[in-house]
Structure 1
Amino acid sequence: THSGASLYKAFAPEHARRLLNKLEFVYTPKHGSWLNMAECEFSVLSRQCLARRLPDSVSVAKEITAWARSRNQNAASVDWRFSTEDARIKLKRLYPNPLN
């Protein structure tokens, strides 16, 4: 769903309008840093927690909960290695220099 029109395709007009009144659409770029952080965190999860056989979904849920608790207690963060300066060089068309 990218706009209110999608709700009108899926629901009766009255219901779509009620839903639309409760929503606020916020543009989130596909290549935003939040997505990069989520991908990094899933990579760490898979390497540190899920890189082994677990007998059932209950065990998987318990392991992920314990892993997430540990990550949060240790205040794990993302170590960005791609600076704004690098971005302006490598992605020049996406990051124009405001001084030019």
Structure 2
Amino acid sequence: MTTEPYASARRVFWVVDNGSSHNGARSVERMRQAWPIATLVHLPVHASWLNQVEIYFSILQRKAISTGDFANLDDLAARILAFQQRYNTTASPFDWKYTRGDLNGYLTPLRRHDTTEPTQKAA
């Protein structure tokens, strides 16, 4: 928050998962007290797929770490750095095509379902 572009921004949004170190209303208040221009935004619970870092760590775990047997931490670090270098040469930006309209189209029937009267069972 002390470096640009954050230091001169009017508003900054920090998007976080619901990890134990930053979940709940107290974390929002701590952020507000420490950095008044910052707003802490929590991802929905069980939506780690929305967090791009979580996706990268998942790929790293599956492709580079769980497939190996490492003699020491230096070997593990070398594997991670090699994976990172290869990943960065082949990765491409994700073109998100799911729009707000798509989401609303999905949610509208769900909302209607939640507000309808329950059907009575025949006796």
- TM superposition score normalised by structure 2: 0.44
Match of 1:44 in 2: 59
Is residue 2:80 matched to residue 1:55?
A: no
Q: How far apart are 1:42 and its partner, in Å? A: 2.5
Secondary structure class of the residue paired with 1:26: strand
Superposed displacement of residue 21, structure 1: 4.2
In the alignment, structure 1 segments of 5+ residues that lack a partner are: 8-16, 95-100
Q: What corresponds to 1:12 in structure 2?
A: none
Which of residues 54, 60, 64 is equivalent to 2:80? 64
Per the alignment, residue 42 of structure 2 pairs with: 28
2:28 counterpart of 1:3: yes
Q: CA deviation at 1:40?
A: 3.2
Q: Any conservation in 1 of the 2:48–2:54 contact (CA below 8 Å)?
A: no
Change (3 A) 1:26 1:72: same
- Which structure shows the bigger proportion of residues in helix conformation? 1
Task: Assess if the C-alpha contact under 8 Å between 2:49 and 2:55 holds in 1.
Answer: no
Contact 2:28 2:40 survives alignment (8 Å): no
Structure 2: runs of 5+ lacking an equivalent? 1-21, 112-123
Aligned to 1:75: 91
**1:64-99 deviations in Å (ceiling 9; x for gaps):** 11101111111245587x9554884489548xxxxx
Q: Percent identity between the aligned chains?
A: 16
The 2-side partners of 1:58 and 1:89 are apart by 48
Return the letter of the residue paired with 1:68.
Q
Query: 2 CA distance for matches of 1:3 and 1:75?
Result: 33
Q: After superposition, give the CA deviation of every residue in 1:45-80 in whole Å (9 maximum; x if it has no partner).
A: 122211121111121111111101111111245587
